[in-house]
Amino acid sequence: MSLRPAAASDLLIDGKLIPGGGGTFDVINPATEEVLGKAADAGGGAPAPPPRAAPRAGAAPAGPRHHALRARCLRQLRDALLAHADELREITVAEVGCPVFLTHGPQLEGPITDLGYFADLAENYEWTQDLGEAKPMGLRNHRELRSEAAGVVGAITPWNFPHQINFAKIGPALAAGCTVVLKPAPDTPWCAALVGKVIAEETDFPPGVINIVTSSDHALGAQLGSDPRVDVVSFTGSTATGKKVMAGAVESLTKVFLELGGKSAFVVLDDADLAAACSMAAFAVVTHAGQGCAITTRLLVPRAKLDEAIAATRDSLAGLAAGDPTDPGTVCGPVISARQRQRVESYIELARSEGGTIETGGGRPADKAKGFFVEPTLISGVDNSARVAQEEIFGPVLVILPHDGDDDAIRIANDSPYGLSGAVWGTDEGRIDHVVNGIRTGTMSVNGGIWYSADVPFGGYKASGIGREMGVAGFEEYLETKAVARPA
């Protein structure tokens, strides 16, 4: 069976693949600007149909049989998607513009495989906990805790790592026993819709347990986020939109779980291998054209080594030119859209007006007549208060800043509204630990360490979010706790 839509992709509602009430909208290849095809448009103004379907399916009885069904369906989905991996890879690279090498990891096969982790959790989680006896108010009682599915989850996701983020929400939510309405970003509808097709045609998920609604209009996200029938809003996107989602959930007091933006620091200590560290920082910031919330976009180097670091980083970036994402050697593909490129370019212009120096890049690649490409760019000569050092750019743009020692590096790293991720390079373990402990952020990489994995909770401090995705902590975002007591 081919997944590529002949006419347009469908919505998945209540177990059925159906066209959108709002017609269709174009799916664009960001590397070529060509129209790849069409996606169903659920429309923005109409009342969102899926949450109505979802609670019905949520009425499935809780308990071991229910968890076993969820685990079986999640593994079925994993295996079916892996069988389609090559076709999905081609479509994902075309729709997202992500370098094909990433589809062997977090852009496709990693998150599909991770569905198995959540299936295991459904089976092995300690759903009930015996707290034993106690004598509140002098009376003997036996107490237990039960974990239950939180209910209907409204999952709203961005375009940069669509499979990773979609599966990091639907995997644990379904394993927890919830029903889900997934609304992907308008830029990457197919990554979600084609998974919906596989769910409908190749798995035994009961109708309505998982619904997928694509839309050209952000209003559908706002509607889902404020729908009183939704019990948990699980949102990944920009901090600005996250604030709106939180405000929208106030009236119904819906639980919100937010994965938001970042402006993470890459700290190089004075005992580090400077060339290796700068080369890694350059590689990180161009990966998928810098469109990763956890990418380190501020490079903090010892002041005495600033010139040497600028030269090393510039040389590394020069070897990482933006290229065709279908080429296995490409690390930096295009950004997602003309709008996003314009945003990145406006920040580069801002750096110039703030007195910064563009050490390399700063424009569009001369060899690319089409596609939303931006040259890997290094900015120096600004301090950490500059807007380009404070605001998320979401492009292949690195700001290099000098620091005056370990504590100063910690101070600069923390001088940010965000706290999503970070990195430190050095030799002395004690000093490295001091930096790791000092930076208020959800993940830290030491000397190139990779924390990304299904069992590692991911999320942010401060304006980078509320809650954790992945791992047991991410699974528990989709659970409620019920305490039960009876006379002993």
Which of 25, 117, 118, 159 lies at the binding interface for ligand NAD (CB under 6 A)? 159
Window 62-101: contact mask with ligand NAD (x via CB under 6 A): ----------------------------------------
By the rule CB under 6 A, 467 interacts with ligand NAD: no
By the rule CB under 6 A, 465 interacts with ligand NAD: yes
Which residue stretch of 181-189, 205-213, 269-277, 408-416 sits at the interface with ligand NAD (rule: CB under 6 A)?
181-189
The 141-149 sheet, strands edge to edge: 128-134, 141-149, 479-487
Which of 142, 146, 244, 352 lies at the binding interface for ligand NAD (CB under 6 A)? 244
Minimum distance of ligand NAD from residue 451's CB (angstroms): 13
Which residue stretch of 5-13, 240-248, 349-357, 472-480 sits at the interface with ligand NAD (rule: CB under 6 A)?
240-248
By the rule CB under 6 A, 259 interacts with ligand NAD: yes
For ligand NAD, the closer CB: 184 or 302? 184
Degrees, nearest 5: CA angle 233-113-262: 45
Window 139-158: contact mask with ligand NAD (x via CB under 6 A): -----------------xxx
> What are the two backbone dihedrals, phi and then psi, of residue 475, each rounded to the nearest 5 degrees?
-65, -40
By the rule CB under 6 A, 421 interacts with ligand NAD: no
Alpha-carbon distance values, 257 to 50, 114, 184, 235, 478 (Å) = 20, 20, 16, 6, 10
CA atoms of 411 and 392, how far apart (whole Å): 19
> What is the size of the binding site for ligand NAD (CB under 6 A)?
31
CA atoms of 220 and 289, how far apart (whole Å): 28
- CA 187 to chain CA centroid, nearest Å: 15
Which of 95, 109, 392, 406 lies at the binding interface for ligand NAD (CB under 6 A)? 392
At 356, list the tokens: 């910064």
Minimum distance of ligand NAD from residue 107's CB (angstroms): 12
Which residue stretch of 12-20, 232-240, 371-379, 381-389 sits at the interface with ligand NAD (rule: CB under 6 A)?
232-240
Which residue stretch of 33-41, 114-122, 219-227, 314-322 sits at the interface with ligand NAD (rule: CB under 6 A)?
219-227
Write the burial class of residue 484 (CB in 10 Å: 0-12 exposed, 13-18 middle, 19+ buried): exposed
Pinpoint the alpha helices (H) of 288-337.
306-318
For helices 64-83 and 162-175, angle between their N-to-C axes, nearest 10 degrees? 160
CA atoms of 439 and 414, how far apart (whole Å): 6
By the rule CB under 6 A, 245 interacts with ligand NAD: yes
Minimum distance of ligand NAD from residue 102's CB (angstroms): 14
For ligand NAD, the closer CB: 157 or 384? 157
Alpha-carbon distance values, 259 to 23, 120, 128, 142 (Å) = 30, 24, 29, 38
By the rule CB under 6 A, 221 interacts with ligand NAD: yes
- CA 469 to chain CA centroid, nearest Å: 9
Contact between 88 and 95 (Cβ < 8 Å):
no
By the rule CB under 6 A, 114 interacts with ligand NAD: no
By the rule CB under 6 A, 185 interacts with ligand NAD: yes
CA atoms of 259 and 360, how far apart (whole Å): 31
Active site residues: 259, 293
Tokens 């940069």, residue located: 160
Residues that bind ligand NAD in the complex, under the rule CB under 6 A:
156-161, 165, 183-186, 218, 221-222, 225, 236-238, 241, 244-245, 259-262, 293, 392, 394, 420, 460, 465
